[in-house]
Structure 1
């Protein structure tokens, strides 16, 4: 009988894990082993060795020999976007997940994320809470960890997605259809993960996390986000201006402190090229009200137009300031995401 000796094809995995690897011989095996410990078994790993000069490729090949779910691609050093794009092009899973070669996915990660997609309609991107590990973690990174882990629901992520990237990139999981419809990863002058996330948000995709720490995120001084200018503060301001929602009402900036002044300089430079420019900048410091800072008049909150007649970009980053500003605006009828949005750093 024809075909009786043919080998059955292995079923396609549900999840394809995209892992770019560059000189990670000291951590990559531990990262792969954390995938082997996943309680949800239907996954494949597409590990792209991006020009490593150490033993990373040999370690990955040994992992592939031990488990056919591990697939290894080698390429010259082309960067993270090229590596991720190559991995996504080889992926066969319905969902694409991210992981770096120096991090640890805890055993319940994949199962918990898939449950979120089953539970929340139109969920387009799912992360997890994280635990930062490693040495020399700054207070700023600890604040970021606390903030990331405070965002759980789609409403949390939509409200805060212009403060910072609200999901840690190595914890991303998304349906392939959302990845492809958003255009995948792109080479840009700003962070590739934040760019993809904001395009998904712009298209109406919802974001959420399971309410549990499911990922150990290793902090290392040589990490790309610590060394590449695409992850510098000015790059984050640039991407936020690029994706800022349009409005038919005049723009006002709230905040003339150190962070706010950087934004005012950026608006001034953009205005010279025909870009958006705030009408004025709001501040509560009586010594600043009435002054001109970087070409913008400083006004008090009471001078703002009423709700519906202005759009307010809040660029305050001091601890507790967002809550105070929200407490001033909301009782007066200003609606978050409609009349005002927080852009300031943590």
Structure 2
């Protein structure tokens, strides 16, 4: 019997070929002591025994209903389920995770006791393929600023007010890994997130879960893009995670990584230059830059060096001068060493402009060319990119010059 004094809680489970675990997931919902639950499973067209299990439950349990059809992934499934819900409070439980006894009642009590909370989450555990506890899931109180440093929320232990879920327009369907982290940030921008000490859920870690299989190829890129989108930069936590997976390729390596992952809305580009194929440049190094009117160039990154093998006579700490001109106008003088990374502000707001770098040092190469230094990188930065570059340059995480 439905007790009208209890707000309806809708639990959504996105599902695809998790027949090995979904029965335990379903049981953890249906065995809750909370009396007013609707349970919606959104299946993406499973080909294992998932559908047979769902049919079995739906025949005898009025609280559960499901659909099974091809979708565009987990995020799309969650939004489809959200559109089907009737409850005031939404739980999102993946098809390999489980609720702990009393989870829903404790979450409802917390939200009723704190009308200003847009969502609440509790503690959780990591379990293995056999449902054996492995460890406590790392959680801590969260707000918008704290989420910059990392994700301290256990996703299956979260319950969200439906009106807030709809206000932020659901889950970002462009994300396939950190859609939960992105959702918490968007909610925290406008609302208070509540945390309770009770353990509410188990997050399953197994060989085929996304955390195990997609962290390096999908997870890290999405997390970095999400951080840049919301905060304009990347925390030390995520920089270290990037380094652990992809190595320390320096600041310019990270910029290329972010560019390749479409982390920025628009990108200024070098369209021509007189750099040689072996990356040496003449004493007057000239290149052209183009960008969109809506995306002015903020600065230029020049990563260069004079290889010691090419100039063995130079003192160890040799310095030389580089004078920069933008469209023929002086744009700064720089004293650099045999290895350098220049960050040159650009005074021009033109969509197209030409840059000249005149070097006081030059030598004659073995093939009789007059050259100055090896220009490993020439990167024009938008305002967005420049913010990321400057903040990371001040970080102690990335130590390489480029």
Normalised by the length of structure 2, the TM-score is: 0.58
Instruction: Please name the residue that 2:88 is paired with.
Output: 94
CA–CA distance in 1 between the matches of 2:106 and 2:296? 43
Alpha-carbon deviation of 1:163?
2.2
Instruction: Please name the residue that 2:65 is paired with.
Output: 71
CA–CA distance in 2 between the matches of 1:99 and 1:123? 20
Q: CA RMSD in A?
A: 4.0
Instruction: Please name the residue that 2:158 is paired with.
Output: 172
Q: 1:33 aligns with which of 24, 27, 44?
A: 27
CA–CA distance in 1 between the matches of 2:297 and 2:184? 23
- Do the aligned partners of residues 54 and 254 (structure 1) sit closer, same or farther apart at CA in structure 2, a change above 3 Å counting? closer
CA–CA distance in 1 between the matches of 2:296 and 2:235? 15
CA–CA distance in 2 between the matches of 1:192 and 1:276? 31
Q: Is contact 2:10–2:38 with CA below 8 Å preserved after alignment? A: yes
**Aligned 1:292-303 pairs, distance under 5 A:** none
Structure with greater Cα Rg: 2
Alpha-carbon deviation of 1:89?
1.1
CA–CA distance in 1 between the matches of 2:98 and 2:220? 27
Alpha-carbon deviation of 1:231?
4.0
CA–CA distance in 2 between the matches of 1:91 and 1:101? 18
**Aligned 1:11-50 pairs, distance under 5 A:** 14-50=8-44
Q: 1:119 aligns with which of 113, 123, 129?
A: 113
Instruction: Please name the residue that 1:182 is paired with.
Output: 168
| Count, aligned residues | 273
- Do the aligned partners of residues 294 and 121 (structure 1) sit closer, same or farther apart at CA in structure 2, a change above 3 Å counting? farther
Q: 1:242 aligns with which of 218, 229, 233?
A: 229
Alpha-carbon deviation of 1:22?
0.9
Q: Is contact 2:7–2:87 with CA below 8 Å preserved after alignment? A: yes
Instruction: Please name the residue that 1:211 is paired with.
Output: 197
CA–CA distance in 1 between the matches of 2:175 and 2:251? 17
Q: 1:194 aligns with which of 181, 185, 209?
A: 181
CA–CA distance in 1 between the matches of 2:60 and 2:47? 23
Alpha-carbon deviation of 1:252?
11
Q: Is contact 1:254–1:312 with CA below 8 Å preserved after alignment? A: no
Instruction: Please name the residue that 1:322 is paired with.
Output: none
Which range is displaced more, 114-123 or 50-59? 114-123
Instruction: Please name the residue that 2:125 is paired with.
Output: 131
Q: Which runs of 5+ in 1 are unaligned?
A: 1-7, 246-250, 281-289, 298-310, 319-346
CA–CA distance in 1 between the matches of 2:159 and 2:145? 20
Alpha-carbon deviation of 1:59?
0.5
1:232 aligns with 2:226: no
Q: Which has the higher strand share?
A: 2
Q: Is contact 1:13–1:92 with CA below 8 Å preserved after alignment? A: no
- Do the aligned partners of residues 105 and 317 (structure 1) sit closer, same or farther apart at CA in structure 2, a change above 3 Å counting? farther
Q: Is contact 2:148–2:235 with CA below 8 Å preserved after alignment? A: no
- Do the aligned partners of residues 9 and 24 (structure 1) sit closer, same or farther apart at CA in structure 2, a change above 3 Å counting? same
Note the alpha carbon deviations across 1:157-193, whole angstroms, 9 max, x for none: 4442012223222222111110111011122256221
- Do the aligned partners of residues 63 and 243 (structure 1) sit closer, same or farther apart at CA in structure 2, a change above 3 Å counting? same
Instruction: Please name the residue that 2:386 is paired with.
Output: none
CA–CA distance in 1 between the matches of 2:14 and 2:103? 19
CA–CA distance in 2 between the matches of 1:228 and 1:252? 20
CA–CA distance in 2 between the matches of 1:315 and 1:43? 48
Q: Is contact 1:253–1:278 with CA below 8 Å preserved after alignment? A: no
Q: Which has the higher helix share?
A: 1
Instruction: Please name the residue that 2:147 is paired with.
Output: 161
- Do the aligned partners of residues 93 and 276 (structure 1) sit closer, same or farther apart at CA in structure 2, a change above 3 Å counting? farther
Q: Is contact 1:267–1:277 with CA below 8 Å preserved after alignment? A: no
Alpha-carbon deviation of 1:21?
1.1
The structure showing larger relative contact order (alpha-carbon pairs under 8 Å, at least 6 residues apart) is 1
CA–CA distance in 2 between the matches of 1:182 and 1:161? 17
Q: Is contact 2:123–2:196 with CA below 8 Å preserved after alignment? A: yes
Alpha-carbon deviation of 1:66?
2.1
